[in-house]
Amino acid sequence: MTPSPPPLSLVSLRDRRPEDLPTLRRWLTDPGAEWRRWDAPYFHAQTTTRTMQAYVEGLTGSPPDPDEQVIDVDGACVGMVNRSEEAPEGGGWWDLGILIYDPAWWGGGVGTRALALWVQDTLDWTDAHVLTVTTWGGNLRMIRAAERLGFRECARVREARVVEGQRYDSVRLDLLRGEWTGGSRVDQ
């Protein structure tokens, strides 16, 4: 049964908990998971599977990382957000990522709300002057979510990615600290 979209107030970000590990293991290590068709599908599936298996194993016994958070909907782990600082350190450029595992949670605003919360968290806790999200031209949901929050396309490398034999552009969107409206566009 497909869940109905939750009230956006029930979407939050939090540290990973030990009870999240089975969910993370299930979704991240499943080579047939639907999210893999949208999150960097141009990487070889076998390599992605090995990388995800190692990542999940590394989570066991390690403390939560402040640059990763669980996307929580009413107490359930439905995905994760992450961020990494672009070199050089202290330059004020942070790249953000978001992944919602279960397609049942796609299309109802959960991703946009989670991204808005992550933007705010990143601006609150880092020296970020510019934030970016990077995706491929076929991932229109990601592009639209970023644009709803005020991100603008800043780079496009034409036909840089091959997905299922078809060429797509690599797309990067950016948002300056001074352009952030606090997520007021989420409800638009």
pLDDT digits (tens, 9 = 90+) for 53-63: 888 888 888 99
- Alpha-carbon gap, residue 102 to 53, rounded angstroms: 18
Phi and psi at residue 109, to the nearest 5° = 95, -5
Residue 77 is assigned to a structural domain of this protein: yes
pTM of the model: 0.89
- Alpha-carbon gap, residue 107 to 132, rounded angstroms: 21
For residue 155, give the CATH number of its domain. Answer: 3.40.630.30
Residue 1 is assigned to a structural domain of this protein: no
Task: Provide the domain count of the chain.
Answer: 1
Instruction: Tell which residue, 142, 138, 172, 169, has the closest CA to residue 155.
Output: 172
Residue 125 is assigned to a structural domain of this protein: yes
- Alpha-carbon gap, residue 171 to 57, rounded angstroms: 31
pLDDT, tens only, 15-49: 999 999 999 998 888 888 888 878 877 777 777 87
- Alpha-carbon gap, residue 71 to 77, rounded angstroms: 6
pLDDT, tens only, 110-166: 999 999 999 999 999 999 999 999 999 999 999 999 999 999 999 999 999 999 999
- Per-residue pLDDT band for 188 (boundaries 50, 70, 90) equals very low
Instruction: Tell which residue, 100, 82, 67, 79, has the closest CA to residue 20.
Output: 79
DSSP state of 127: -
**Structural domain boundaries enclosing 16:** 8-187
Residue 3 is assigned to a structural domain of this protein: no
- Quick check: 163 and 41 in contact, CB under 8 A? yes
Residue 160 is assigned to a structural domain of this protein: yes
Residue 168 is assigned to a structural domain of this protein: yes
Please state, in angstroms and as integers, the Cα–Cα distance from residue 16 to each residue in 116, 158, 173, following that order: 19, 37, 27
